[in-house]
Amino acid sequence: MSHAKNPVNKTLVLATRNAGKIKELEALLSGLGFAVLGLGEFPHIGEIEETGLTFAENALIKARAVAQATGLIALADDSGLEVDALSGAPGVYSARYSGPAATDESNNLKLLHELNAVPEEKRACRFRSVVAAMAPNGQQLLAQGSWEGRVLAAPRGAGGFGYDPLFLDLELNKSAAELAPAEKNARSHRGRALRALLENWPDFWARAARG
């Protein structure tokens, strides 16, 4: 199959409806020269149940489902916040930490409540991201990245999404929500995972294009 006739060479589908995540991933993937679509472009794809016990399992579940449903290469990120004082929670349950109807605000409030009695020096945490690429022919690629920090006692900043207002980058002494988008992408777990993925992209692309 020639590259000119292979639609996977032109389009990537991001396995998410999260507008903040789509914006970050689009910026990180801009150098590839692909059309980047989110799940909003494919209303026939319903909610994908994340039944995995790890970020890698969930990323692969989402990427596989979207690649099969669209016939295009799918890229899925599963990420979350791991807090040492909470034995790694919320972890893979970060997006729904405060329940099935969780919002960023309710998740942040629950996290602050859980850490209410934990002193500042014991609030070590990290954002972790695993990114999976899946081709319609079943070829896959996984990469991961992490971002070390500390949970703040109160939100700071108006940017970002998720737990960004509570995540302190110790080197910059700024919350993730206080960073400009380009600055965040340069330091974030998702940015590191994407850069690791792109290092191995040529080999994956060759395997994906075989049809």
* Spacing of C-alpha 50 from chain mean position: 13
Could you say which of 77, 78, 164, 169 is catalytic? 78
78 flagged as catalytic: yes
Segments of the chain assigned E as strands: 11-14, 35-37, 73-83, 124-134, 140-151, 167-169, 174-175
* CA–CA distance, 169 with 177 (Å, rounded to integer): 10
Strand order, beta sheet including 124-134: 35-37, 11-14, 73-83, 124-134, 140-151, 167-169, 174-175
Contact indicator for 108, 83 with CB cutoff of 8 Å: no
Catalytic residues: 78
